[in-house]
Amino acid sequence: MRHLTRALLNYGARAACLLALVSGLLGLGGCGSIEVALGLRMRLDKIPVSSVSASLSPDPGLAPGQTGRLILIAATADGKEYVTAGAGHGKVLFDSYTLTATIVQVSKKGKVTLAADPRVSEGQVPHVHVVVNGHSDVVADLDVPVRYDIAFAGHFSGHAGLDGLNGLDGQMGSSGSDGSLDPNNPSAGGNGGNGGDGEDGKDGSPGQPGQSVHVWITLRAGSQPLLQVRASSKTLQQLFLIDPNGGSLAIDANGGAGGSGGRGGRGGQGGSGGAGSPPGFNGTSGQDGRNGWDGAPGAAGKIQVSIDPAAQPYLDHFTFVNKSGSGVAGVPAAITVEPVSALW
């Protein structure tokens, strides 16, 4: 018994020490400070850094709507390097730096985002300026090239329907009361109660239909010809600038799948008959509820395309998909070759 008491006291002492350590770390403020205290992360304010370099991962450039991750590498005069956490797989916290940006947005954790609207960045060079905190003379500058040679996508599809709720299971029947098994004074056991019926599952809701979309395509001539595209429905407009040398665009206007019907509740088990002479009868089990019906699939949307004759040779860079929520193809996109002026 004394050994058990001593073991419990030792365990309690260790737990108290651990609690005190965690409380002390929390007092430092913020997850970053806790990671620094544990040696998992570090800051540069006390490191004699003499230079810093910046790059973007996974690619040096961004297309409209894309994001990238900064990798910052600080170096000391004797060649030691300190790399940021995240994409750089280092230990340095991003709050070791002050980050300012033009055209792009940059988060406190080094996430760099270029707006999806190509008008925001067209003809400009996004830029990120980096300053090492505590070393205001140590700076870096990063230009982010804007690219238009990726696979863009415009989404005008309907949402899937919501799944129906499952039915509640029926309640179990109560057990019958016991009678007497005494041969001199027998009495019958009570019958068990019947189980309750399971509740029906609720029906899934229908999928939303795909939207009706009008797509305009024209060619912006120049040293680097680019395709201007505007895709519009009643509720949404999306703009794209596409390099035909590698770039493409897929537009979808699919109907949403119908929601799945909820499972019917299970019937409750009948209660046991009570012991006695004679014994009581068991109660009957309740009926299972029916499963809910799946929601109807949404109808395929309609796609209308107006393409300028100068852009027609690049029509194979575009894909138009409109299926119902059950996968049935809708009416093919209606494509008209006609003059389309500059879209912005």
| pLDDT per position as a tens digit, 43-82 | 998 899 999 999 999 999 999 999 999 999 999 999 999 9
Range(s) of the chain covered by CATH 2.60.40: 49-143
Q: What mean pLDDT, rounded, does the chain reach?
A: 91
pLDDT, tens digit, 9 for 90 and up, residues 10-35: 555 555 444 444 455 444 456 677 87
In angstroms, rounded to a whole number, what is the distance separating the alpha carbons of residues 100 and 330? 48
In angstroms, rounded to a whole number, what is the distance separating the alpha carbons of residues 114 and 104? 5
Q: Which helix (H) or strand (E) holds 55?
A: strand 49-57
Tell me the percentage of the chain whose pLDDT exceeds 70: 91
49-143 — its CATH code? Answer: 2.60.40
Which DSSP letter does residue 135 get? E
In angstroms, rounded to a whole number, what is the distance separating the alpha carbons of residues 217 and 203? 42
User: Any alpha helices (H) in 27-99, and if so which ranges?
Assistant: 31-37
Q: Evaluate the CA torsion angle 26, 30, 33, 38 in order and state its sign.
A: positive
pLDDT value at position 223?
84
Distances (CA, A) of 103 to 92, 117, 120: 26, 11, 7
In angstroms, rounded to a whole number, what is the distance separating the alpha carbons of residues 45 and 3? 50
pLDDT, tens digit, 9 for 90 and up, residues 203-214: 999 999 999 999
**DSSP letter string over 215-244?**
EEEEEE-SSS-EEEEEEE-SS-EEEEEE-T
Comparing CA positions, the residue from 63, 70, 60 lying closest to residue 116 is: 63
Place of tokens 């680097």: 224
